[in-house]
Amino acid sequence: MPASKSTRMESTTNTRSQILDIAQDLIQRNGVNAMSYADISKAVGIRKASIHYYFPSKEDLVIDLLDRYNEQFYCLLDEIMASPESPKVKLNNYFGLFEETLSSGEQDKACLCGILTAELKTLSTPIVERVTKFYRHNEEYLEQILQSGLETGDFAFAGNPQTMARLIFSLMEGDLLIARADGGVARIQSTIQQMMALIKS
């Protein structure tokens, strides 16, 4: 691999990430099984065979997409965790990630992993592993926020932070999916507010 990138390499990177962008958009809207190379081809403006040049199989594409998506999401999570804000604000910022997903674009995008969850039984092991890793990561971070919130007195609730973290994650994934179909951004906002009210001390 060369030390310095040529202009050629840059255009490659652009096409590659453009394909990933479009694929992610299509999956978040319609699901993996309703997304085809032909769709991507049309949207990117290259021929179908050229997509196979970058991603030999559809599975390769989805794996690379999930790796990119997870990395990006974990970065946002780390930013929230590293901030000097109170647990209450941190949790609100976490909720914001989900609200932003629905607010973006045509307001019809769900969480990438949320959509894949519904189609999980049609997906290969490497993909399933990455989706479940996403759950675990989210739930661990949430648990940390909840734990420190209990300590600072920001939060007060029955049960343990782990179970509560799982509940909150399930809630956000479910509400994002449903709000997209019925209620929109207003619904997810009021759900977030309600959830905060339930655990605030």
Partner DNA sequence: TTTAGTCTATCTACTAGTAGGTAATTAAGA
Partner DNA sequence: TCTTAATTACCTACTAGTAGATAGACTAAA
**Site residues (CB under 8 A) for a copy of itself?**
29-31, 33-34, 108, 110, 114-115, 117-122, 128, 131-132, 135-136, 157-159, 163-164, 166-167, 169-175, 177-183, 187, 190-191, 193-195, 197-200
Q: Does 7 bind DNA (CB under 7 A)?
A: yes
Identify the sign of the CA torsion 110, 127, 62, 82. Answer: positive
Burial of 39 (0-12, 13-18, 19+ CB in 10 A): middle
Residue closer to a copy of itself by CB (options 50, 162) is 162
CB atoms within 10 A of CB 173: 19
127-141 burial, b if ≥16 CB within 10 A, otherwise e? beebbeebeeebbeb
Footprint of DNA on 138-197 (CB under 7 A): none
For residue 5, give both structure tokens: 């990138």
CB atoms within 10 A of CB 4: 5
Residue closer to DNA by CB (options 47, 136) is 47
Smallest distance, Å, CB 23 to DNA? 10
Helices 87-103 and 184-199, interaxial angle, to 10°? 160
Give the x/- contact pattern for DNA in 43-82, rule: CB under 7 A. --xxxxxx-xxx-xxxx-----------------------
Residue closer to a copy of itself by CB (options 85, 129) is 129
Distances in Å between the alpha carbon of 100 and those of 106, 107, 190, 194? 12, 9, 14, 18
Q: Does 124 bind DNA (CB under 7 A)?
A: no
Q: Which does 198 bind (CB under 5 to 8 A by kind): a copy of itself, DNA, none?
A: a copy of itself
Smallest distance, Å, CB 67 to DNA? 17
Residue ranges binding DNA (CB under 7 A) = 2, 6-9, 11-12, 15, 35-39, 45-50, 52-54, 56-59
